[in-house]
């Protein structure tokens, strides 16, 4: 077989063995340059995250304005609903942004958020997905997404952790009413993603036990994973979640979940569950790693040794993809990525011998 970067990733998705461990990187983290071309020639697959559906809110109007304060640029967004306006302020920061002021500020905002969610309308964008896939070619794999899980969106996206903690104690019924409306809307999305041309989709992400809590994860995330998986699996689409923090506390819950893969899984030294432990505790699931970010500051010899150790832990290698899901220091990314790719070429030929480093 002619193993293209995409075919290697697809082999892992299908439970097969490619010729070597796949290496991937998000589309926003690798600028076009000579090294980028060399990496793709050596097998790097770029993960292009794109939607298979569009969301409309016909009765909600959004406007934004950019302003500067103390030399820093901010964006203020107004979300106008028939029952009132929600305002947020964000600070752009490269490929992401920081929430400086969140939408939810007072109990009266529950009605506005409920209207916002209830006003959502979804429609497929399958032709756009197919066109992108054809245009980008074999060095890319396209990933669909469902949404942030409802409780995560409420907690992190709309309230912030401190406000959520107060509201969870004082007005939990309001939070759960909003959660139920969001979950109902997501059921429409499951069906759209399931019938799409995507091979896999992420649902939720950035959940960590220290904030979400194991009990809430089990009660409010796992049942939605199960519902989504029922729809997606009926059409051959895999389901994953971006769980890039400590996973030991809820490893038993992930094992019982309907997830096919854990994306952005981050092993030690950054997080608390090793690749070998995760593979042993999560039979039937594969790991789509985030190469531990702290190691990008190590020597090239250290980066090579870490790559070799990650590969060795995953023997025989049919449940591992090494990915880059966090930014690398601008002055390090080229040599770091070339080092990781060379280590995979040297040690990542499959099946991997069952050895421990």
201 and 173 housed in the same domain: yes
Tell how many helices (H) and how many strands (E) occur in the chain.
Answer: 14, 14
Share of the chain above pLDDT 70, in %: 99
Range of the domain at 159: 5-56+120-347
169 and 76 housed in the same domain: no
Question: What is the model's pLDDT at position 94?
Answer: 76
78 and 173 housed in the same domain: no
Residue 257 has pLDDT above 50, yes or no: yes
Question: What is the model's pLDDT at position 6?
Answer: 98
63 and 30 housed in the same domain: no
Per-residue model confidence as pLDDT tens digits over 13-55 = 999 999 999 999 999 999 999 999 999 999 999 999 999 999 9
Cα dist. 95→14, 43, 92, 250 in Å?
Answer: 31, 24, 8, 29
Question: What is the model's pLDDT at position 166?
Answer: 98
Question: What is the model's pLDDT at position 354?
Answer: 67
Q: Which of 103, 138, 158 is the last residue of a domain?
A: 103
Number of structural domains the chain divides into: 2
Contact 110, 178 (CB under 8 A): yes
Q: Which of 103, 129, 160 is the last residue of a domain?
A: 103
Is 164 within the bounds of a domain?
A: yes
Residue 356 has pLDDT above 90, yes or no: no
Cα dist. 91→94, 101, 205, 255, 275 in Å?
Answer: 10, 9, 21, 37, 35
> Which region among 91-95, 124-128, 134-138, 276-280 has the lowest average model confidence (pLDDT)?
91-95
Question: What is the model's pLDDT at position 142?
Answer: 98
Is 357 within the bounds of a domain?
A: no
Residue 221 has pLDDT above 70, yes or no: yes
38 and 163 housed in the same domain: yes
Facing residues of 101 across strands? 89
Share of the chain above pLDDT 90, in %: 93
Per-residue model confidence as pLDDT tens digits over 71-118 = 999 999 999 999 999 999 999 887 778 899 999 999 999 999 999 999
**Mean pLDDT within 150-155:** 98
217 and 321 housed in the same domain: yes
Question: What is the model's pLDDT at position 353?
Answer: 75
337 and 197 housed in the same domain: yes
Rounded Cα distance between 140 and 226, Å, is: 28
Is 222 within the bounds of a domain?
A: yes
Question: What is the model's pLDDT at position 348?
Answer: 83
The DSSP string of 94-137 is: TTEEEEEE-S--STTHHHHHHHHHHT-EEEE-HHHHHHHHHHH-
For residue 143, the surrounding DSSP H or E stretch is strand 140-145
**Mean pLDDT within 240-252:** 98
Per-residue model confidence as pLDDT tens digits over 309-320 = 999 999 999 999
- Main-chain phi, psi angles of 22, to 5 degrees: -70, 150
Facing residues of 123 across strands? 54
Rounded Cα distance between 30 and 333, Å, is: 9
326 and 187 housed in the same domain: yes
For residue 309, the surrounding DSSP H or E stretch is helix 300-313
Is 79 within the bounds of a domain?
A: yes
Rounded Cα distance between 27 and 144, Å, is: 13
Is 109 within the bounds of a domain?
A: no
Is 178 within the bounds of a domain?
A: yes
Question: What is the model's pLDDT at position 97?
Answer: 85
CATH of the domain at 270: 3.20.20.210
Residue 357 has pLDDT above 90, yes or no: no
């Amino acid at each position: 077989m002619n193993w293209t970067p995409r075919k290697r990733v697809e082999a892992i998705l299908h439970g097969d063995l490619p010729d070597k461990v796949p290496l991937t990187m998000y589309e926003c983290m690798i600028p076009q340059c000579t090294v980028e071309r060399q990496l793709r020639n050596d097998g790097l697959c770029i993960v292009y995250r794109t939607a298979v559906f569009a969301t409309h809110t016909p009765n909600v109007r959004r406007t934004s304005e950019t302003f500067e304060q103390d030399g820093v640029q901010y964006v203020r967004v107004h979300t106008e609903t028939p029952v009132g306006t929600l305002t947020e302020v964000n600070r752009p920061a490269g490929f992401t942004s920081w929430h400086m002021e969140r939408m939810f500020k007072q109990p009266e905002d529950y009605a506005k958020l409920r209207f916002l969610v209830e006003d959502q309308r979804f429609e497929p964008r399958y032709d756009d997905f197919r066109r992108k896939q054809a245009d980008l070619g074999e060095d890319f794999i396209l990933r669909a997404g469902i949404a942030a899980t409802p409780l995560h969106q409420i907690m992190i996206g709309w309230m912030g952790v401190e406000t959520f903690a107060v509201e969870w104690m004082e007005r939990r019924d309001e939070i759960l009413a909003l959660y139920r409306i969001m979950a109902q809307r997501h059921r429409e999305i499951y069906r759209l993603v399931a019938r799409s041309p995507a091979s896999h989709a992420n649902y939720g992400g950035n959940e960590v036990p220290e904030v979400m809590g194991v009990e809430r994860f089990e009660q409010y995330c796992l049942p939605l994973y199960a519902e989504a998986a029922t729809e997606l699996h009926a059409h051959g689409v895999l389901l994953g979640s971006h769980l890039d923090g400590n996973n030991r506390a809820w490893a038993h819950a992930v094992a019982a979940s309907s997830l096919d893969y854990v994306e952005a899984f981050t092993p030690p030294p950054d997080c608390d569950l090793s690749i070998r432990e995760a593979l042993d505790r999560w039979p039937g699931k594969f790991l789509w790693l985030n190469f531990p970010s702290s190691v990008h500051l190590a020597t090239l010899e250290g980066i090579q040794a870490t790559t070799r150790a990650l590969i060795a832990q995953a023997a025989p290698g049919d449940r591992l993809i090494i990915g880059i899901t966090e930014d690398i220091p601008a002055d390090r990314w080229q040599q770091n990525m070339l080092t990781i790719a060379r280590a995979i070429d040297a040690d990542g030929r499959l099946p991997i011998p069952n050895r421990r480093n």
